[in-house]
Amino acid sequence: MKGSAKLVSVLLVLLLIAANMPPALPSSFWGYTSGITAGQTITAKIVNSTSLASTTQAFTWNGLVVYAMNVTGVSSDEGKAITFKVNGVLVGMGTWHSGTNVRLDLSMLKKKR
């Protein structure tokens, strides 16, 4: 084989291997909220990632406002920071790890005037 034919063969093998790899599991988060009302949308975005933002709504459980969400990403997102926002306001930060389920309480602090 010539050099370019070998390169094409190697690339084809790598593509076939990559096609058989399972997708990354989401990084799951749940927790209690403070200053967030039931029905408000919580958005999670992996910092410096091409992954789409994940969203959920806060809900009432046993008289408390809570949330639970899966943050989808890819294997290259491993260890990257995640920002959690409500109406564009930062309410928490976490770290993306495939296949985890982490308690992360979120808080929307009100500014004193």
The DSSP bridge partners found for residue 101 are 28
Q: What is the pLDDT of residue 23?
A: 80
CB 105 within 8 A of CB 69: no
**pLDDT tens across 45-78, in order?**
999 999 999 999 999 999 999 999 999 999 999 9
Domain spans of the chain, in order of start: 23-107
Residue 6 binned pLDDT confidence (cut-offs 50, 70, 90): confident
pTM: 0.79
Q: What would the mean pLDDT of 11-24 be, rounded to a whole number? A: 68
The 3-state DSSP class for residue 11 equals helix
Architecture of the CATH domain 23-107: Sandwich (2.60)
CB contact set of 54 (below 8 Å; sequence gap of 6+): 26, 43, 44, 45, 69, 70, 71, 72
The 3-state DSSP class for residue 5 equals helix
Residue 24 binned pLDDT confidence (cut-offs 50, 70, 90): confident
